[in-house]
Amino acid sequence: MSRKAKSALKKVMAVLLAAMMLFMVTACSGGGDTQTTGEKKKIGMIWYGNTDAMGGTFYAWANHAAEVLNVELVWSLGALDTATELTDCENLINAGCDGIYFIPMDTAANLQLGNACQQAGVYWATSNRDIIDDEVLAAVEANPYFVTRVYDNSYDVCKNMVAELAEQGITKVCMISGDPTDAMMVDRNNGFIDGCAENNIEILGTFQNPSSGDATTVVDGVNNFMTLYPEMEAILAVSGTNGVGEAIMSALNGSGKEPGSIKVAAFDTFDGNQEAFDQGWLSVSCGGYTTECLISFLALVNRVQGNVIQDGVFEMTLSPLLITSSEEMQIFSQYVDNPDVQLYSDELIQSLVGPDVTVEDYQAVLDDWSIDFVKEAVGLT
Amino acid sequence: MEEIVLKAEHMFKEFGATKAVTDVTLQVRAGTVLGLVGENGSGKSTISSMIAGVYPPTKGTMTYLGKEYHPKSVLDARKAGIQYLTQEQGTIDGMTVAENVFLGEEDQFSKVGNVSMRKLNQVARKILDENGLSYVDPKKPIETYSFEDRKMIETARSLSQQPRILIIDETTTALSQKGRDRIYEIIDEQKAKGTAIIIISHDLDEVQRLCDQVLIMRGGVYIDTLSGEDINPNTMRQKMIGRELGGTYYRADTTCSYQDEVVLSVQDLTVDGIFYQMNFDLHKGEILGIGGLSECGMHELLKTVFGAIKPTSGSVTLTEGLKGETQLKNTAVSVRNKVAYIPKDRDKESLFQATSIKENIVASCLDKLKKGIFISPRSEKKTAQKEADRMEVKMQNVEQMVRDLSGGNKQKVVIAKWLANDSRVFIMDCPTRGIDVGVKAKIYKLMNDLKQQGIGILMVSEEMMELIGMADRIITMKDGRQNQVFTRSAQLSEADIIAAII
Amino acid sequence: MNQRVRKLLSMDTLRKIIPLAGLIIVILVFSFTTNGLFLRWNNIQSLIMQAAITLVAATGTVFVMAHNNLDFSLGGACALSAVLSYLVTGGELIPFFIMCIVFGVMCGLISAFIHIGGRVPAFMAGLCIMFAGRGLAQTVSASKTMLMVGAAQFNQLWFFLVVLIVVFGACYFLFNYTKVGKYQKLIGTNPMATQLSGINVNKYKTLAFVICGVTLGIAACLTIVRSAAVNGNTGLNLETDVLLALSLGGISMQGGSATRIRSAIIGVMFYFILDNGLLLWGLDADYVDIVKAIFFLLTVTISIDRSQYSVIA
């Protein structure tokens, strides 16, 4: 660059700087009193996004609850990996948040975000993920700012699903199992296996659900079941998401068998599950996790407002709600994970924050999670 | 006298602080040829660009066919009937010949926004045939044709639009003899049709042959208008430079002289389909010229000698490389062993346009400047400054962008780059192409100096006089094969060489 | 005088200063409108650590961009090197770091090999590595938990500062004062003329990919230090972050002599400060992305070099 251009550049920069300074002085004198708006507590929300059903629903629920409880929320949307969550967490802490809520994208996120919160003296709570590593678990439990974690109780739900099939008189099943290294999947596998044992149901054959979510593998697997085990009465599937549910249905529909002659119990809901119930193929399903997020969030608000529930750490579990008929499926689709529907009343929300609230109160709300609860909440009964 | 088609009066053009054209007035008459002559940077291209609508004048008025004329763009000027042919590629790669012929005018073939390719190709076929380009297929992509064919296609495009004024800006420089002859024919035809023609050229013989009037410019200022007998190379040269040129434009001596020692030996060099079985030695202190038609393979031969093209067979041996005898297998080996290559296409093959003069000059000699792996900016600047001064590059300082220099100064930068690397062998492909006489003379003097230092120079030229004027020996090529060797003598004439290459 | 004023305000000058000016403006605006939150030491510390991964990766990427290539492999290559390194070393910390860099270089070499040997644009090769890397990382992490709890001990300012200074310092030196950097710029300006100046274009292009691979490997290490585990989402979106940040820093999209390594530092800081500051403002999450997009568009529209996009008339 020529010397002339350089000096020109410097001049422009100087003018710019001077203009900025002037602007700052005026801006500063006018904006000095923004933080005097009382003692409203700030909660930092690290959330994966608000465009899908669950994401949008919790976004709406939490905003509503914040209004009811008079706390301020600062959302940081879009993080899908631990490094980004950590960045969001640091920014939220620096923005003056008194508590941080997040879904750990992996077990290590508990450790990293927990450390950041501990260093800053900020409370934190999580939901939807269990901790599968002992070292991390120990560190989390030793963290004085850790409030609570809520995670899915897949095991019991799986057992309940099998029991539901047993009631329909089923005795011989095949099973699509989950990844044996994934803690959550192992829970589901065991739930199915133990449920079968308790109800005297024989598992004829098993194949592992492809982690890649390859639909043709699932279709082939189901066809194999039908060829190898003509006496099969039902199929248990550890997951209906990722196209697995649709693949099972397409295999059954293509088999030429009478619709409903083979029953399916699938974990999680999927596209076309209403039709599958109507046809008679699908007989049990489950879903709905947003309550976990809400309870974890409420427990965090409670702690931030100075209410200590108990000395030690506490954790809670949620069983996804069981869907056993076409009508229930309809109710589920219409009212669960719908951002426009507030299933929990303002009174209930208020009752879960206060000096006298106990762990049991929270767990009771979690345990209450069922189709019947939904019906009542929306005034169907 | 013929009707005045265009009058440009008191024209000024400034680019920032640079005054490119100052108060120039010219007029063009129907059916006559006006030559614009001057050194690089004398403003002749600037004034024709203003007429062609490339950019507006800073001040001045133009009257075209009796009306005031303010072209907004090249397309605007074209629509008005003013066609501008330059030395640069005016066609666009990736499009077919026909699409190029009708570039910007596809509308006439479109129905509801859909261009009818069939009709487009048909009309293009007709235009090509009318211009002696029947061997060109309008459906083929333009890049399948050589630079020269593409220039001709571009010319055909211009002529198809029945221009009232045709501006030919150094177009012939890039063409072979055949292409030039075709352009001369076109000029005669157009002249007969009553088209006014403006020619810009460095080839003063060409100007003498073609022009009815010649306008001389120097440093953006009008100098003189010549006509009749006054249009001869000597008068023009004097007016252009503003002083008498000595008799030593080329080498003064007329004897072949070089040392016995061979520096570069080319044996059985063949690139299939281009040239075959080339055999020659370049000696210390020798200028070895290679002459031929543009397509005879001589340009590719030089590239192959330098190592930029892999030969099918044969070898190029440098006798005194860093480690004794060295095969020039690739450009990196050549440059490391102090071989220099000055390509024909300066802008495309040897210059870093949007880069400073300094970086251009030191590009090939960083190995010399580095200490460990560190290259100090100070040593770069010093080297660049030294070589630029030696070549007398006209510049503000070495940090100036090369793209802002005139053609002659660009070539000086290219040569400076190789001087900076202490080159011991120079391979030059048309080293004075598109360069004004002043710089040409400087380059000839430099070549002579290098020769005196015992440096070997291998030179290809399309100008016969240059070969005769400079080379100790001239090898002629025809259709990719070596054909005759001429030794320097006072009797050697252009006709002798032309007879050998055609 | 009139002319000088015009020159000062010309698009060209504006284009050159807008990235730095924009950064300064953003810093000043946030300094004065966040009640001092922005300038708190903790926040500055967080900013440095957050920006480090992207900054390290971007610094190496400048070499590839200087010779007119784009590297789209970064995110996937980051996951790939981390996963492979974990598989090879079993998560032992120091060997893991070393192998990360080795595999990073390997990714760079693969890009270079496909680009040069196969005459395929490097961004295509990069896309392949990105998908392959992401795919492999997800497959492996689906059947294996790769926790690296020990790495978390390095999640401290001094470590990030040391890495940043060493990487940026070394790259700054290489880029401006050695053949490797200088030749990248020449190749970016005119590859043909570079070859005909006796420079082995392929060799120096490959070297650029190697440097980019080293910085990528280091970025992968920092990612693991930040996230304490290797999984399918390691280094997610790194490539877009880097390219966006470099654009914000005013890097020349065609490479060449106009390429400056400072684009990396200006752009990455710009990018992270914007994120950080908007959050400190407490701007509604729904508007954050829109505000960012407007900022990016403005900066890039003004600062991009259009000389290569001019239409031939």
Confidence of residue B404 (pLDDT cuts 50, 70, 90): confident
* Degrees to nearest 5, angle at CA C11 with C7 and C15: 115
Mean pLDDT of chain B: 88
For chain C, 313 residues long, the average pLDDT of each consecutive 10-residue run is: 56 78 91 90 93 96 95 94 95 94 96 93 91 89 84 93 97 96 95 94 96 97 94 90 92 88 94 91 83 84 63 38
What is the SS3 assignment for A148? strand
Q: How many angstroms separate the CA of residue B94 from the nearest CA in chain C?
A: 14
* CATH number of the domain bearing residue B65: 3.40.50.300
Q: What is the mean pLDDT of residues B230-236?
A: 86
pLDDT for A5 equals 62
* Contact state of A82 with C228 under an 8 Å Cβ cutoff: yes
Test mutation, C10, C11, C180, C196, chain B, max B CBs within 10 A? C196
Neighbouring chains to C with at least 3 Cβ pairs closer than 8 Å: A, B
Q: How many CB pairs under 8 A join B and C?
A: 87
Residue C294 half-sphere exposure toward CB, CA atoms < 13 A: 4
Residue A178 tokens read as 């989950």
User: What is the domain class of A155-287 according to CATH?
Assistant: alpha beta
Residues B323 and B373 in one domain: no
What pLDDT is attached to residue C5? 57
- Which of A9, A86, A106 shows the shortest C-beta gap to C231? A106
Q: How far apart are CA C181 and CA C175, in angstroms?
A: 4
- Domain spanning A42-152+289-377: CATH superfamily: Response regulator (3.40.50.2300)
Show the domain range for B155. Answer: 4-241
Q: What is the mean pLDDT of residues B232-248?
A: 71
Residue A359 has pLDDT above 60, yes or no: yes
User: For residue A37, what pLDDT band results from cuts at 50, 70 and 90?
Assistant: very low
pLDDT digits (tens, 9 = 90+) for B10-51: 999 887 666 788 889 998 999 999 999 887 778 888 898 899
Domain(s) labelled CATH 3.40.50.2300 in chain A stretch across 42-152+289-377, 155-287
pLDDT at A29: 42
Cβ atoms within 10 Å, residue C124: 15
Per CB-CB distance under 8 Å, the chain B contacts of A2 are: 396-397, 399-400
CA distance B167 to B80: 14
pLDDT band of residue A52 (cuts 50, 70, 90) is: confident
Query: What was the ipTM of the complex prediction?
Result: 0.89
Residue C140: CB atoms within 10 Å: 19
Nearest CA in chain B to A3: B399
Q: Verify that B313 and B436 share a domain, yes or no.
A: yes
Report which of residues A20 and C146 the model is more confident about. C146
Contacts of A183 (CB under 8 A, 6+ apart): A130, A132
State pLDDT tens for residues B299-352: 999 999 999 999 999 999 999 888 889 999 999 999 999 999 999 988 889 999
Residue A380 carries which side chain, given as an amino acid letter? L
The whole-number pLDDT of residue C303 equals: 74
Q: Which residues pair with B485 in a beta bridge?
A: B475
Burial per residue of A83-105, b for 16 or more beta-carbon CB atoms within 10 angstroms, e otherwise? bbbbbbbbbbbbbbbbbbbbbbb
pLDDT reading at A312 higher than 80 = no
Å between A221 CA and nearest CA of chain B: 51
- B158-191 pLDDT, tens digit per residue, is 888 888 999 998 877 777 788 888 889 889 988 9
How many structural domains does chain B have?
3
The C-alpha atoms of residue C39 and residue B30 are separated, in whole angstroms, by 75
Is there a single domain that holds both residue B275 and residue B296?
yes
CB of B116 closer than 8 Å to CB of B133: no
Confidence (pLDDT) at A10 = 66
From the CB of residue B111, how many other CB atoms can be counted at a distance below 10 Å? 8
pLDDT for A36 equals 39
With tokens 């040129």, the residue in question is B245
| C-alpha distances in Å from residue C88, one per residue of B58, C66, C135, C233 | 70, 33, 18, 19
pLDDT digits (tens, 9 = 90+) for A143-189: 999 999 999 888 999 999 999 999 999 999 999 998 877 778 888 99
Place of tokens 């007119």: C68
Q: Which amino acid is at B271?
A: V
Q: Are residues B263 and B204 in the same domain?
A: no
Name the percent of chain A lying above pLDDT 90. 66
Q: Which residue is it, tokens 């693991």?
A: C224
pLDDT of residue C273: 94
Q: For C155, which residue in chain A has the nearest alpha carbon? A: A112
Alpha-carbon dihedral of residues B185, B191, B195, B199, nearest 10 degrees? Answer: 70
Q: Which of B359, B395, B399 is the best residue to mutate to test the A interface, defined by the most A CB atoms within 10 Å of its own CB? A: B399
Q: Is A144 exposed, middle or buried (0-12, 13-18, 19+ CB in 10 A)?
A: exposed
Q: Write down the pLDDT at residue A199.
A: 94
Strand order in the sheet with A123-127: A72-77, A42-47, A99-102, A123-127, A146-152, A314-318
Interface residue C193 vs chain B (CB under 8 A):
yes
Residue in A with minimal Cα distance to C40: A94
More confident residue, B56 or A45: A45
B328 and B379 share a domain?
Answer: no
CB contact under 8 A, C257 and B335: no
Is the confidence at residue A26, as pLDDT, over 70? no
Residues of chain A neighbouring B400 (CB-CB closer than 8 A): 2
Are residues B122 and B15 part of one domain?
Answer: yes
Structure tokens, C177: 């004062």
Least Cα separation, residue B230 to chain C (angstroms): 38
Query: Both tokens of residue A274?
Result: 């209403």
Q: Using an 8 Å Cβ cutoff, are A70 and A302 in contact?
A: no
Which among B327, B309, B329, B392 has a CA at the least distance from the CA of B357? Answer: B392
Q: Do C177 and B375 touch (CB under 8 A)?
A: yes
The answer to whether the CB of B108 falls within 8 A of the CB of B192 is no
Q: Which residues of B335-364 are buried (b: 16+ CB within 10 A; e: fewer)?
A: bbbbbbbbbbbbbebbbbbbbbbbbbbbbb
Distance from CA of B294 to the nearest CA of A (A): 40
* Chains touching B (3+ CB pairs < 8 Å): A, C
Q: Calculate what percentage of chain B has a pLDDT beyond 90.
A: 43
In the structure encoding, which two tokens stand for residue A52, read together?
Answer: 């899908």
Edge-to-edge strands of the sheet including B4-15? Answer: B67-68, B59-64, B4-15, B18-29, B221-227, B213-218, B33-37, B196-200, B165-169, B82-85
Q: What is the pLDDT of residues A89-108, one digit of tens each?
A: 999 999 999 999 999 988 89
Q: A315: part of which helix (H) or strand (E)?
A: strand A314-318
> Which residues lie closer than 8 Å to B449 by C-beta, 6 or more apart?
none
pLDDT of residue C312: 37
What are the strands, taking DSSP E only, across B65-211? 67-68, 82-85, 110-111, 114-115, 165-169, 196-200
| Percent of chain B scoring above 70 in pLDDT | 95
Average pLDDT over chain C reads 89
Contact list in C for residue B306 (CB cut-off 8 A) is: 196
The answer for residues whose C-beta is within 8 angstroms of residue A228's C-beta and 6 or more apart is A204, A205
Pick from C147, C224, C289 the residue to mutate for testing the A interface (most A CBs within 10 Å).
C147
Please say whether the beta carbons of B276 and B270 come within 8 A.
Answer: yes
How far is the C-alpha of A304 from the C-alpha of A288, rounded, in Å?
Answer: 27
Beta-strand (E) ranges in chain C?
146-147, 229-230
Residue predicted with more confidence, B144 or A55: A55
pLDDT at A39: 74
Which chains have at least 3 CB atom pairs separated by less than 8 Å from chain A? B, C
Whether residues A95 and C155 touch (CB distance < 8 A) is answered with no
Q: Which residue of A has its CA nearest to C136?
A: A212
pLDDT for B160 equals 85
Q: Are strands B33-37 and B196-200 parallel, antiparallel or unpaired?
A: parallel
The pLDDT-based confidence of A2 (bands split at 50, 70, 90) is low
pLDDT band at A262 (very low <50, low <70, confident <90, very high): very high
Q: What is the CA radius of gyration of chain A?
A: 26
Cβ within 8 Å, pair A87-C50:
yes
Q: With contact defined as beta carbons under 8 Å apart, do B285 and B451 qualify?
A: yes
From B17, B350, B355, residue closest to C257, measured CB to CB = B355
Q: SS3 letters for B439-479?
A: HHHHHHHHHHHHHHCCCEEEEEECCHHHHHHHCCEEEEEEC
**What structural domains and CATH numbers belong to chain C?**
52-235 (1.10.3470.10)
Q: How confident is the model at residue A240 (pLDDT cuts 50, 70, 90)?
A: confident
Whether residue A32 has pLDDT greater than 50: no
Residues B402 and B431 grouped into a single domain: no
Neighbours of B453 (CB within 10 A): 10
Contact yes or no for B355 and C256 at CB 8 A: yes
B343 inside domain: no
